[in-house]
Structure 1
Amino acid sequence: MTIPTLLRRASATALILALPSLALAQQGAAPAAPAAQPAAPAPGPDAVVAKVNGQPITGADLALAAEDPALSLPGVDEAAKQNLLIDYMVDLKVGAQAAEAAKVGDSPEFKRKLAYFRDKLLLDDYLERETKKSVTPEAAKALYDQTVKSMKPEEEVRARHILVENEDEAKKIAARVKGGEDFAKIAAEVSKDPGSKTEGGDLGFFTKDRMVKPFADAAFKLSPGQVSDPVKTQFGWHVLRVEEKRTKPVPTFDEMKEQIDQYLTRKAQQDTIIKLREAAKVERTGATPAAPAATPPAGETKKP
């Protein structure tokens, strides 16, 4: 569930205050015992972990605070994290009680903010609930099967290259390679491509559309083991050697699952909003600013 920005600002402040204390405590801590002690279980939702002027803080409150991205504490053990969350909730309650006493919540501006964040939280939870109906294992598998079925076979090439600044240098390198010298060794010595020279110029497998046209044309014309003549691109001059050719393998369901779930989630949320808007009576008042008139692109005349 999304945490309102209003609370995130407070969370960030609490972390600024809490983390130095944690760092000092860790610096002064004794060396860890050889056998790690099992972490204490998190308090139950109804367990009262602290009280502020008689107002309880429960395990459910801590669980909600732990969902706040601003309170993410990687590398902090669970016990220390629980203590930080309790400290944060104490600060939150103290501040909220002071704000209540000062009647901050009675101002029209505060009420507008509260209404906005209530609507946002309601929408977030509603979309989450509705999305679960669409993002199912069956829907994911059906989308995977449909996607794989529509994929056309694509040829891939695995090639090495050496990048230099001028044609003369490229011709000398091509002659060396064709004369029997080790391509990977020459690439490591002279290539200007920092991303591949440490790998002996190896670019891995790629489809034709992944590379600039002169490079791709040269690579896909070669047979495995062949070395190209110098090829010019906007990056410089290249000498290529094709290592392998194959039909691009179809990705497995596990490899695509995350993308599929993200697509199904976005689509379900979008479909839900569209359906709700279609069923709603929406009236824009005269107070709404008019949209600016479309301006034709430069060089084009507007049709009558």
Structure 2
Amino acid sequence: MQRFGEHRGPIIALALCIASLSACDTDPQVRASTRQVDGATAALVNNEAIYISDVELEAAAQGRIEPNTPFGPDHPEFEPVLEQLIDQRLLAQEAVRRGLDLDPEARRRLEAGRERLLGNILVENLVANEVTDEAIDEMYAAQVELQQLDDEVRLRHILVDSEDEANAVLAELQGGRDFTEAAFEHSKDIRTRLDGGNIGWVAPNEMSDPFPAVIGNTSVGELSEVFQSEQGWHVLRVDERRTRPPKTKAEMRPEIITFLTFTQISEILRDLRTQADIRRREPVTIPVQTEDEPTDNETESPDTE
């Protein structure tokens, strides 16, 4: 079972982009509250209709309304969103009047927008059957089980520049010197030096190497062997261990929805890429010309007397 944050691969950028646009729509609670598009008109702009359902979709896209919230002309967010849509429609009508929609560049941009919209609609339809309350519950249970394997530890450390210094500090501590005093005298870590080398509570698996392995091999109350990181040489002491309380399902729900959505998009894109005929344009290499090198149009003139 993957943990959140472990996504890797060449399709991540597109998949996460689509996931971020579509994840909220794939939440079962959101889908349950989605109303049917209807023909009730909110406004006419030069005889072109803006429907109440258009206003609702825009309000939801802007995050102005929550799932299962009744929405209509009496809602306080209705008029501000409707005014935006009226302005948008007026600008679009003026662009058409000026013939801007016939411009080749405009057509390319319109087609790109159409592709993005169709892609998002496809994702919403394909993912809808997978991102269910049952799938969310199952994923939450698995993540809680994984998270409970991660203890948190309260650490102290002393950071020095060389292995010899670290061994000398370790010898002092093993001889009974107070850790706080030794940290104050020797540690180069400005952040923890004045607090007895106290790092605080951390999750070992979220720390950079080699901290997780060193912590795993050090019992509570014991000193580690000296070890090196990117910062320098360390002596570490584990003061306490505790089991990290898991997030609630409500706290983890957005992450789960994004993860499940990402997984489905990844599978869809892998299948589509396998089936598709994709031909990339070969790069054109332009030779670099030096200042002393004549161009094709330049020839050396023969010497004349």
**Map of 1:40 onto structure 2:** none
Distance 1:238 1:121, change over 3 A: same
Higher RCO (Cα < 8 Å, 6 or more apart) = 2
1:162 & 1:262 partners in 2: Cα distance? Answer: 40
Q: Which moved more, 1:126-135 or 1:195-204?
A: 195-204
Amino acid at match of 2:264: A
5+ residue gaps, structure 1, are: 1-43, 73-77, 293-304
Paired residues of 1:140 and 1:260 also in contact (CA < 8 A): yes
Q: How does 1:201-280 map to 2 (within 5 A)?
A: 201-207=198-204, 210-213=207-210, 218-228=214-224, 231-245=227-241, 251=246, 254=249, 257-274=253-270
| Aligned partner (choices 57, 67, 90) of residue 94 of structure 1 | 90
* Alpha-carbon shift at residue 133 of structure 1 (Å): 0.2
**Map of 1:120 onto structure 2:** 116
* Alpha-carbon shift at residue 136 of structure 1 (Å): 1.4
> Are residues 1:289 and 2:281 paired?
yes
5+ residue gaps, structure 2, are: 1-37, 65-74, 285-305
Distance 1:122 1:164, change over 3 A: same
2:160 & 2:122 partners in 1: Cα distance? Answer: 57
Normalising by the residue count of structure 1, what TM-score does the alignment of the two structures yield?
A: 0.54
Q: How does 1:108-187 map to 2 (within 5 A)?
A: 108-143=104-139, 157-165=153-161, 168=165, 171=168, 175=172, 179=176, 181=178, 183=180
* Alpha-carbon shift at residue 125 of structure 1 (Å): 1.2
The RMSD of aligned alpha carbons is 4.8
Paired residues of 2:148 and 2:246 also in contact (CA < 8 A): no
Paired residues of 2:152 and 2:201 also in contact (CA < 8 A): no
Cα deviations across residues 123-171 of structure 1 (Å, max 9, x unaligned)? 2112112211011122334445667788996776542113244555884
Paired residues of 1:160 and 1:243 also in contact (CA < 8 A): yes
**Map of 1:31 onto structure 2:** none
* Alpha-carbon shift at residue 62 of structure 1 (Å): 3.5
* Alpha-carbon shift at residue 233 of structure 1 (Å): 3.7
Normalising by the residue count of structure 2, what TM-score does the alignment of the two structures yield?
A: 0.54
Identity %: 26
Cα deviations across residues 106-131 of structure 1 (Å, max 9, x unaligned)? 34443443334223312211211221
**Map of 2:292 onto structure 1:** none
Distance 1:229 1:209, change over 3 A: same
Paired residues of 1:135 and 1:264 also in contact (CA < 8 A): yes
Paired residues of 2:166 and 2:226 also in contact (CA < 8 A): no
